[in-house]
Chain A
Amino acid sequence: MLFNSFDFIIFFPIVVLVYFLIPPKLQRIWILIASYYFYMSWNPKYIVLILFTTVVTFIGGIGIDILDKDSRRRQICLVCSISANLLMLFFFKYIDMMIGYFNKVLGLFHIGIIEKNFCYALPVGISFFTFQGIGYVIDVYRGDTKAEKSFLSYALFISFFPQLVAGPIERSKNLLRQVNETHRFVYDRVKNGLLLMLWGFFLKLVVADRIAVFVDAVYENPFGNNGFFIVIATVLFGFQIYCDFYGYSTIARGGGKVLGVELMDNFKAPYMSLSVTEFWRRWHISLTGWFRDYLYIPLGGNRKGKLRQYSNLMIVFLASGLWHGASLSFVIWGALNGIYQVIGNISKSVRYRIMKRFQSDEIKWEHRFLCRLCTFCLVDITWLFFRAGSIQNAVAICEQMFGVCNPWIFFSGALYEIGLSRQEFWLMLIAIVIVLWVDSLHYRDIHVLAVLEKRGLLFRTLAVSGLIFAVVMLGVYGESQDVGTFIYFTF
C-alpha cells in the first residue's frame, strides 16, 4: 500500500479513528495489526521476514541483556542476531548480484555457471527494518538501551507502519519508548501531523512525480534526448529524489505524529549545505547516523589518524552505496561520495588559503552561494549513477550528455515536448522554488508550521486550503497517471 494510493486514504483514517476510540490498552495491538496489514498488502508471504527479524532481534536483545557483561556468550548472541539479519538481507537483496559476478569469474576460467532456480521479488523495506533491528541489538549490547521485555511493543517498534518500508530508520531510544506509551487525542498534535502529511504529499505528488515525467522520458531515451536534455534531467533528478524521499519521510512523520509518535527528521535542508560533508549530515539523517554509530565509530572513526579516518569514510560510503542497491552503480555512487569527503578533508587548508587570498569569508552570501552551487553540482553528478541503474547505462548517458551540444533547446520550445507541457514545466520550476524557499527557512531552524501557527485565522485557512488545492488539483495521480511508487521503496 503506497502512501499516495487511494487504499491508504481509506486505511489511514480508519486506523486513526479506531486508535482513539478503543481503550488505550488496546492501542498497541491495533497499530500492530494495522502495520502488519499495511505490509501484507504488498505480499502477504513477506510478513514472515518481518517476524523473523522481530523474533531474532527480540530474543537476541533479551539474551544480551541477561548474560554477564564479560561473557563470551553475550558476544556470540550479538553476532548471531546481526548475522541472521544480514544473511536474510543478503539472500533477498544481493544473491542475484553475487551469482552474476561469480558466474563472470567462472566464465573467465571456462567453468560452468551457477543457475539460480528460485525467483522472488525484493521484499519492500527489507533494508530498513533489518537495520532497525540490528541497531537495537547493538544498543542493548552497548548498554545504551534496556532490552524490551514486551514482545508486542518490540514487534511494533520494528513494524510501525508509517516508517516501516522507507524509514526513517528509528533508534530504540526514541521509538521504543514511545510505542510503550498510550496516546490520547490531542487536537494540535493531530492537526500538525495532518499538515505535515499534506506537505509530504505536496513534495511527492506535485514536485517529485511531475519531475519524474521529464526525467524518465529523458533517461529512457538518452539517444533521442541528449546533450542539455540529460544535463537538465540530471539536475532535476536531484530534486526528484529529494522530494520523493523527503515527501515519504514527511508523510511518515506526519502519520506518526497523528498517532502520537514523534519520528526523527530525516532531512534538514540538504541542498542548502555548504559542503558535501554537511550535505551528509542533512541527507537521510537516520541512515547516515546509523552508519556513523554502528560502523564508522566502531571502525575507529577519526580517532586513529588521517589515513584510517579516510579509509573508514570510504568503507562507510561503499557500504552505504551497497545498502541502496545490489548494483555496481550504487557502489560507485557511494565511492564518489566517499572520495568527495576525503578530498574535501585533505584540501581543507588549501581551500582556506584560497579563501583568504580572495578576501572571502563564509558570511558573505556570494561565498555561501558558490559553496552551495558547488556542493549541489558534486552531489548531482553522483545522482547520475544512482538514476542510470547500471554502469553501462551511466557510461552511455555520459557519452550522450557530453557528446552533443544543443543549447538552443532552452529557446526552441523543445523542452516542452518531453512529457511536460510548457505550463507543466513552469509549474514544476515554481514548485521547486517553493521547496527551496521552505528549505532555506528550515536551514535557519525556522519551521513553516510554527510560522503559520502565529498568523491569523484567515491567513492560515488560505494557506492550508492553497496547499490542499495544490496537492489535489496539481498533483500527478489518478486515472491518466500510474500511481508513482517511492524511489526508496526499492531499497
Chain B
Amino acid sequence: MADEAPSIEYLRAAAALQGVHPSDEDLEAVQGFLSVLLPAFSELETMTPAGTVPAGMFVPIDQP
C-alpha cells in the first residue's frame, strides 16, 4: 500500500464513483487523515500470522 495520501483529483473521482461530491477543502482534510492512516494500515498486513481467521462481526464469548 502506498504511504502517501492520494491526490485531490483521485479522491474527487473516487468519491464521485460512490455518489458523493465533496469540496476540495473537505478533500484536503481527508488527505490529512489518510497521510496518518495509510502508513499505519500498511503494518496491519505484516502483523497477522498466516492462518489467522477474522474476528468476525462480533468477538467471541469465552474465558481467558
Q: Do A and B come from the same complex?
A: no
**Which residues from chain B sit less than 8 Å from chain A, CB to CB?**
none
**Which residues from chain A sit less than 8 Å from chain B, CB to CB?**
none
